[in-house]
Structures are given as structure tokens and as C-alpha cells.
Amino acid sequence: MSIASNHAASRTARMVAALRGRASARPQPLCHDPWASALAGEEGEALADAFSPSFPAFELWMAVRTAYLDQYVHHFTTSPQDFGQVVILGAGLDTRAARLARPGVRFFEVDHPATQADKRARVDALPGYPRDAARYVACDFETEDFVTKLQAAGFEPGRAALVLWEGVVPYLSEPAIRASLRRIAHACDERTVLVFDYVGKRIATRDKLRADDERNMALLDGLGESVVFGSNDVLPMLHDEGFRHVRTVSFDEACLSLTGSYDRERMFRFQHVAIASRTACALL
């Protein structure tokens, strides 16, 4: 069952916000999100506690994911790229619009209506949060076209955009993923850059999983947010849907570049970040 069919606000969004908050509170943190813990709330903390025994490096993994994608926002919103639009698909409790704001850059947050309503209520209750930092667009990726909805909110398809799709693709059906990719490739400016993370195929097919992974997949099933999509090679799908410049980076590689450390036992090698565009650009 995906979040689209259970109509509840995403609880995994609260869990990952709690992990971002914990990572941000470390000495010399990899990522810095001053609002994450407050947005996650008690339920987010409890979920992070429930998942962490089966994935001890979960907090580090979240910190790497946040910091790695933050780099892309910095890179593409500053000179010489100067992209004026950042679209965050499946934003959950993402605070980049507040943390990484720059003059002349418009942030859009697209999310499932239930999650977005929950996020907006949490942000409204958070003293000091710049709630107008983003324009909010409610959309179910399984059934709706987010580009049309984005345009109604002021998105300009003729201007280059950076599109982040963080921690979302594993929860979507392949047809919905392909439809979204097609819209980014063909309805947005050709310089648009998409960055998303994904898990290996056997996580989704549950093929010979380790006991720890089995346990966390069962916990996600219990939240109504099952992992249903995984891939060992997203290039064919990105090519099919119109992208011509693709790079993939494993979480081990991302973690190594950010921390200088590697540990096989973290099990980061099956999870990747993909960067894709129709035209060549300086992909980090």
C-alpha cells in the first residue's frame, strides 16, 4: 500500500526529520537543520528509535543524504548556473526553502495533500520558521500531473530548475515514476537538473534480504509506506523517458566524499543518488 492509497500524512517524513535533527545536533555536524527535531515531534523520534537498531548507520545515512543534496542546491542556485527555481518533490518536512534561501530563487514544495497539510500545520506552529519561503503545491504523483499544478503556483517551465526528489521514489509505482520523469524531461526547460535517490531492486522485491532489512521493510509496511520500487540501474529508464546525461553515485561514494570514511558494514553500497538532465551540465 502506498501513501496515495492510505490518505494519511507520511510518517516516514517525520522519522527522517528526526534523524536529520539528531545529525544536526552532533559536534561538527554534516548537515545543519535547526528545525528538523521540532518538526519531527515525538512520533518522529519514536520511529527513528524503532528503525535504528536494524540500521545503526541510519542517522549517518540521513546526514549524508541531506548534505549531499544540499550541495546541489548551492551549486545550481549560485553563479554561474544561477537557476532561479528549486522544486522539491515529496518534500515532507524538508526545510531547504528556509535554510538555503537566496535572493532571486523561488522554492516550490510539492507533496501528497495529506502530508503537505500536516507540514503546513507544523510549520505554522513553529516560532521563527519563514513559512512563506516556499510555494506549496499539493499533488498525488500516482494520479496527478505536478507540472500543471506547479505552473498554477508560478513555476516557469521555460526557466531552468533544480528538481529534488529525495526519499520518495522507493514508495511510488514504476508507471508513476516514469510519468513524472517524462514530465520533467519534456515539459520543463531542457537545462533542468533532476536529483533523486533510490534503493536496489532486491529491497523492493524482498529477495533474500538480511534479517535487519526484512525487519525494517515490515516496519514500513506497518506504517502504510511500503517500499515498492527499486532498481540496480536507472539509466535505461531515464533514457526511455528523455534524459541524455545521467550520473549515479552510491551512498558509500557520497559518504566517502563528505566524511573521508568508509565502512562496508554500513550497507550503503546498494543505495544510490542519480543526477539527470537533458543537456550537458557540470554535474557535481
Ligand X SMILES: C[S@@+](CC[C@H](N)C(=O)[O-])C[C@H]1O[C@@H](n2cnc3c(N)ncnc32)[C@H](O)[C@@H]1O
Q: Per rule CB under 6 A, is residue 95 in the interface with ligand X?
A: no
CB of 264 to ligand X, least distance (A): 25
Contact 110, 90 (CB under 8 A): yes
How does 141-159 read in b/e, with b if 16+ C-beta sit within 10 Å? bbebebbeebeeeebebee
Residue number of the CB atom closest to ligand X: 92
Q: Which residue bears the cell 557535481?
A: 284
Q: Per rule CB under 6 A, is residue 38 in the interface with ligand X?
A: no
Q: 38 or 91, CB closer to ligand X?
A: 91
CB of 45 to ligand X, least distance (A): 15
Q: 3 or 234, CB closer to ligand X?
A: 3
Stretch that binds ligand X, among 1-9, 42-50, 246-254, 268-276 (CB under 6 A): 1-9
CB of 93 to ligand X, least distance (A): 6
Q: Which of 202, 184, 185 is nearest to 269 (CA)?
A: 202
Give the angle subtended at the CA of 198 by the CAs of 120 and 206, to the nearest 5°: 110
Binder of ligand X out of 81, 140, 201, 220 (CB under 6 A): 140
Cis peptide before 80 (omega within 30 of 0): yes
Q: Per rule CB under 6 A, is residue 177 in the interface with ligand X?
A: no
Stretch that binds ligand X, among 85-93, 186-194, 202-210, 238-246 (CB under 6 A): 85-93
Q: 274 or 278, CB closer to ligand X?
A: 274
How does 89-120 read in b/e, with b if 16+ C-beta sit within 10 Å? bbbbbbbbbbbeeeeebbbbbbbbebbbebbb
Q: 112 or 272, CB closer to ligand X?
A: 112
What are the angstrom distances between the C-alpha of 15 and each of 58, 62, 163, 193?
Answer: 11, 10, 22, 27
Stretch that binds ligand X, among 51-59, 92-100, 120-128, 237-245 (CB under 6 A): 92-100
Contact 19, 92 (CB under 8 A): no
Binder of ligand X out of 47, 48, 63, 91 (CB under 6 A): 91
Q: Per rule CB under 6 A, is residue 90 in the interface with ligand X?
A: yes
For 115, residues 6+ apart whose C-beta sits below 8 A from its C-beta are: 3, 9, 10, 13, 90, 92
Contact 145, 183 (CB under 8 A): yes
Q: Per rule CB under 6 A, is residue 142 in the interface with ligand X?
A: yes
CB of 268 to ligand X, least distance (A): 16
Binder of ligand X out of 70, 111, 213, 252 (CB under 6 A): 111
Q: Per rule CB under 6 A, is residue 10 in the interface with ligand X?
A: yes
Contact 193, 201 (CB under 8 A): no
- Written as nine digits, the cell of 276 is 539527470
Q: Per rule CB under 6 A, is residue 166 in the interface with ligand X?
A: yes
Note the residues at the interface with ligand X (CB under 6 A): 2-4, 10, 12-13, 16-17, 90-94, 111-112, 115, 140-142, 166-168, 171-172
